[in-house]
Amino acid sequence: MSSALHNLSDYDASRLPSADVLSRQRYAVIVSDWNSDVTYALLEGACKTLVDCGVTEENIDVVHVPGAVELTYAAADCLHDYNAVIVIGCVIKGDTPHFDYVCQSVTQGVTLLNSRGETPVIFSVLTTLDKRQALDRAGGRLGNKGTEGAYTAIRMANLVTL
């Protein structure tokens, strides 16, 4: 197995719909304020990517929630008003099992929302062992998972038309 690091934040713009199509679509980005030095960098990457691809700033709504567990509630509230919803959070493992419960709660919540088949909810929640791993994925050496979330949101919102 290769130990080389990969930056997965590059995407193929030819696989996206035209900017004309994207300019008429609405996206919600829900961000956890917990670990904000990480989550706000992910938020910046997501919003920049949406705009760079053709979504107008007026069609991007950002919703702040206190922590990762609250992401699912806010996402459920947004399902009917947007083409896609991106949830952004960062859970860093500590000395207690709290990490496991939070990660399981958010993962199951997003999976449940997606199983409804109404609006894609994109999981841009980092679950890392330490702060360095989180920063590496929030614009560091491993790219920006917010950027990847935005690209995924566009692809999923247009899955039928692509």
117: closest CA among 68, 84, 152, 151?
Answer: 84
Residue type, 127: T
DSSP 3-state of 101: helix
98 labelled catalytic: yes
Beta bridge partners of 61: 28
139: closest CA among 58, 49, 59, 75?
Answer: 49
In this structure, what token pair is assigned to residue 138?
A: 């929030």
Beta bridge partners of 22: none
* End-to-end Cα separation, the chain, in angstroms: 33
Number of H helices, E strands in the chain: 6, 6
Point out the catalytic residue in the list 6, 64, 80, 98: 98
Using alpha carbons only, give the angle 149, 152, 156 rounded to the nearest 5 degrees.
Answer: 135
- Give the residue numbers annotated as catalytic, written as ranges: 98
